[in-house]
Every structure is written in structure tokens, then in C-alpha cells.
Amino acid sequence: MYTSPIHLCIIQPAGAVHALGFLDQARFFRQQFRRLGSVVSIGKNRLRHDAINFVFGAHAGFDTGLMERFRCVFVNLEQLGERGARVPQAYRELLAASLVVDYDATNVAAYRDVADVPVVSFGHAPYLSGEPVTPIEARPVDLLFFGSMNERRMSMLQQVEAGGCRVAMLPFGIFGPERDAEIRRAKAVFNCHFYESARFEQARVFQCLSLGTPVISERASNTAPPPQFEDSVFWVASEAIKTFFEHEFRAPDFAEKARGKLRNFTSHDVLDQYAEVLARARRHFATRPGASTPWRPERLHIGSGKDYMPGWFNVDILEQAQPDALLDLSAPLNLPARMDCATVGPVELRADSLTFVYANNVLEHVGDLPRLMTNCLRLLRQGGQMLIEVPYEKARAAWQDPTHVRAFNERSWVYYAEWFWYLGWFESRFKVVSLEYLDERIAIPEREHASFMRVRLEKVATSAVERTTARAMRADFGGVPEDDERTV
């Protein structure tokens, strides 16, 4: 019997490095689901039409319209409720109206009246223990701390240092293998609560323990860790941090005790929790197969590159950009164009169907730009708009990219708006709605300091005067109809 694959989608707004932190939890989900026999993939911002999508980081923004075509389960890893994280109200509403998996049962009351949300926890991740581990005693870093900083955490770290232990601070913004390498160099990692809610940061701690590094964690009166952490972590009361580092951390048997706690962690298995989540998701979506009817998108993102935009039809000419479709709009385009995409399923592009086209630093790379603009004009409906960002010709950076074939100035849009007949256009043209200059920070500077131009075009019908002018300027008469021979 066929069962849908599982896709793990991490929402990462452009340039948001901290979203890479969700890789740890997504990889753990992947391992558990694979142990249960599922085919599992991971992607950034990309949903899959043929899969059940587990979405991480939706608090950063999620287009709820996507749920009409995609089967989504939202994984909440935020500390919600009183004294927890401040998240947008739209996110709380999304959780309340969707299938959700949470990591802490106390979160559920913040978005559900009835506690019908499955809760999973994190355990030993054997895929992290493949590299040789330096003995704890021989590691060069005494104590490592990483994560966001606030006054509460700073106060805790000051107590640690008052106990005679020097704390190494991992610069914020390092994730993945680079961060894991630093964790392996430490005799221990210190964990303390960021929020007054004091929920245990298991999503961080399981990674350290799985890497073979002991964790020393603050424990407040309302901290309630899952069972697998009880005998695997060095627990210290908030008021006893200085004493712990003065005595227990410096004790000769600390490393041996740490190895025992690490062994304890490997003895726990949380697979049953993930089996329940998977079974619930499959039951929930049993009557909702993946999309089979062609999607006719209204928004097109040309040259999506590193900035994939969920809810848009993302196209690029480079496979490494992982677009929805490989499509070169500077080549001939037969409409309607039909294609089958691994992400969004079957797609049909039709003439006069798009409301918006976005091209961010794309046009400077295109060989046959008139053809690309012609194809965009054909795809847009009347009143549809095209937003373009391009390098300004007078900017120092305009020619630093060896793949640029042109730069742009204020006159670069004349042919698409005023002299449209040169391109063979007749019934429609573009109108320049706005033109503004941007600096390298995408702020609006004085013209002489501009690095880029942002231009908004709108598809408009040509007027009778414009069509008459076009007939006069073209080599032919602009499609004058043939006479009916019967009237001769």
C-alpha cells in the first residue's frame, strides 16, 4: 500500500541565519520517521505537493493559502504562553486552526482549548556520534555557552565565572557542523533559561549530549524535563550555580560522572512518540491526496536563486537553485505551458493569467532581454505588474559580477513603454508606474549614490492613437485583416 512521503520544511526568511537552528530538530524528525519506514526529505521554504509536510519555523511567517494545496503539520518549538516567547497573533491562530506537533505540553493551552496536540521530545541522535570523540579531560575548552543573550542569561554566566570557570562564548549565528565542531571541543556546555517560563531547552541539549558533550543545566522550580534527560544532565538550582562550578565541576571525578550521564542518554528511545505523530498525520490526511489538478499560478518569481518564495511559482535556469521549474523565459515560450514539478505538482502557465512578476537582480544576466520581457507581457493580465530590481549603471558594483551582460539607467525602459512597436508589440505594452534608486543596503539614497534601481511596470492596453502610431512605425500594417473574397 502506497503511503505519502514525508517532507520537512524549514521556513527561513531571506538572510535569517538563526533559522538554520531548526536543522537539528528536523534531522531528528527525519531519523525517527525513517526508522518507521517513511521516505523523508528536507527543504528550505519549499513544500511538496506529494508529501505530508512538517513545517518548522512558521512563526517567522506562513502563507495560510498554501494549505489549500499542501498537506501541512506545524511543529512548534517556541515557548508559548505566560512569560514565554512573543510570537505574532497570526502564528497562534495558525496553530489553533491546524494539525500541530509540540515539544512541550504546557505550550498547548496558549493556542488550543482542548489538549489534543501530540507532544514529542528529543533523544539520542546516533548519526551525530560518528566522529572520534576527544576524551573529556583532554578538551581545550572548559565550558561553552551558545544561544541568544539577555540580562537573565548574562547574570547566570557571571555566577559561573564567579565560581572560577571561564566561559567560552560561541558567536551568535554559527550553526550546523561548524557549531558542532566547537561543542565537541568543550568539557561541558552550560544551559540556562532564556524566558521566565523556564521550560527546558531540550531541542538544544539533545544535540550536545548526542555529540558526546556533557550538559550542565539550570533547573528552576517549574522546569519539567522529559524522562530521558533526568539522569543524563548535570542539574543545578538557579541559586547554586556558583557553588557547583567551584566544587563539582572541578572535582577529579567530573569526567567519569559525565561519561556515565552520556551513557544514560543513549539508553532512552522516543520512537513511540513519533510513531503516534506519524499515524495521526496519515489519518488526518487520508482523504486528501496530493494535488493532481494543474495549478495555474498568479504570481511568478523569475530567477528565484537563493530567495525561494513560498506561494509563488519560482523558476530559474540553474538546477542548483532548486526552483519549482527550470524555465528560461529568454527562450521561445509556447502557451499554455504545462510542466510537472516535484514541489508544486502539475502547473499550467497561460497567457493573460498572472497578476504579478518579480525579477530581483535577474535582467542584468539575460542574453535576449526583449524576448524575456515579451514573454512576461504575454503572461500578465491587463493591470498585472512586474517588479524589477537591477544594478544601476553608475554604481561601482554594476560590473563586479562576471555574469552581468548589462547595467541599467533611466532610459532602459523606453522600448517597453513608449517605443513598444520596436519589439513587435501591438495590443499591449508596459507603463512605468514607479522608478526609485536603492543603495547597497536597499535603502533609498540620493541618485548619485545609487547602486540599484527598483522599477514597477504595469501591463496596459494600447490606445487607438498608439496602435495607429505602431502601424506607421512597423514594417507591416500591424495585422490588417484580409478581405473576404465573397465580398469582392
In 3D space, the residue among 398, 402, 415 whose CA is nearest the CA of residue 453 turns out to be: 398
**Cα(73)–Cα(6) distance, integer angstroms:** 10
Specify if 487 maps to a domain: no
For residue 440, name the pLDDT band (cuts at 50, 70, 90). confident
Is residue 1 pLDDT above 50, yes or no?
no
Asked if 165 and 256 sit in the same domain, the reply is yes
479 domain residue, yes or no: no
CATH of the domain at 101: 3.40.50
User: In angstroms, rounded to a whole number, what is the distance separating the alpha carbons of residues 225 and 221?
Assistant: 11
* Residues 116 and 134 occupy one common structural domain: no
Question: Which whole number is the average pLDDT over 367-391?
Answer: 97
* Same-domain pairing of 214 and 88: no
Residues 150 and 244 in one domain: yes
User: Which long-range CB contacts under 8 A does 18-22 form with residues at least 24 apart?
Assistant: 18/172, 18/173, 18/175, 19/57, 19/60, 20/175, 20/176, 21/175, 22/56, 22/57, 22/77
Look up residue 58 and give its amino acid. Answer: A
Q: State which residues form the domain around 106.
A: 6-120+271-284
Assess whether pLDDT exceeds 60 at residue 488. no
* Same domain for 94 and 178: no
- Can you give the pLDDT at residue 289? 64
pLDDT at position 361 is 93
Are residue 346 and residue 221 in the same domain, yes or no? no
* Position 351 pLDDT exceeds 90: yes
According to DSSP, the residues that pair with 219 across neighbouring strands are: 237
The sign of the dihedral angle between the CA atoms of 92, 97, 98, 100 is positive
Residue 156 lies in a domain: yes
Whether 303 contacts 316, CB under 8 Å:
yes
- DSSP lists the bridge partners of residue 438 as 452
CATH code of the domain in which 177 resides: 3.40.50.2000
pLDDT band (50, 70, 90) for residue 57: very high
- The mean pLDDT value for 185-192 works out to 95
Q: Do residue 205 and residue 340 come from a single domain?
A: no
Is 70 exceeded by the pLDDT of residue 340?
A: yes
Residue 457 is inside which H or E element, if any?
strand 452-461
| String of DSSP letters for 121-140 | -----GGG--S----GGG-S
Average pLDDT, the chain: 92
Residues 35 and 91 in one domain: yes
The amino acid at residue 30 is R
Dist CA 6 CA 194 (whole Å): 32
Report the distance separating Cα 282 and Cα 194, nearest Å. 35
- Same domain (yes/no): 449, 463: yes
The Cα–Cα gap between 475 and 468 comes to 13
C-alpha cell at 333: 515560450
Q: Tell me whether residue 146 is in a domain.
A: yes
105/232: higher pLDDT: 232
Give DSSP secondary structure letters for 282-323: HHHTTT-PPP-SPB--SEEEET-TT---TTSEEEES-GGG--
264 pLDDT above the threshold of 90: yes
Helices (H) and strands (E) in the chain, counts: 12, 19
Look at residue 484 and tell me if it is in a domain: no
Q: Are residues 141 and 220 in the same domain?
A: yes
Grid cell 557549531 in the structure block, residue: 179
pLDDT tens, position by position, 353-364: 999 999 999 999
> Considering the domain boundaries, does residue 312 fall inside one?
yes
Say yes or no to pLDDT of 343 above 80. Answer: yes
The pLDDT of 400-412, averaged and rounded, is 91
Number of domains in the chain: 3
Is residue 307 domain-shared with residue 323, that is, in the same domain? Answer: yes
Predicted pLDDT of residue 290: 59
Residue 214 has pLDDT above 90, yes or no: yes
Interior/surface letters 273-288, b for 16+ CB within 10 angstroms, e for the rest: bbeebbebbeeebeee
Instruction: Answer whether residue 130 shows pLDDT above 80.
Output: no
**Which of 312-321, 326-335, 348-357, 388-397 is least confident?**
388-397
In this predicted structure, the answer to whether residue 222 has a pLDDT above a threshold of 70 is yes
Please check the confidence at residue 443 and state whether its pLDDT lies above 80: no
Mean pLDDT value across residues 168-179: 89
Q: Report if residue 192 sits inside a domain.
A: yes
Tell me the pTM.
Answer: 0.90
Residue 298 confidence (pLDDT) above 90: yes
**pLDDT attached to residue 193:** 85
DSSP 8-state class, residue 449:
G
Among the listed residues 120, 104, 164, 98, the one whose alpha carbon sits nearest the alpha carbon of residue 32: 120
pLDDT at 270 > cutoff 80: yes
Assess if residue 405 is contained within a domain.
yes
pLDDT score for 487: 57
More confident residue, 236 or 293: 236
Q: Are residues 397 and 459 in the same domain?
A: yes
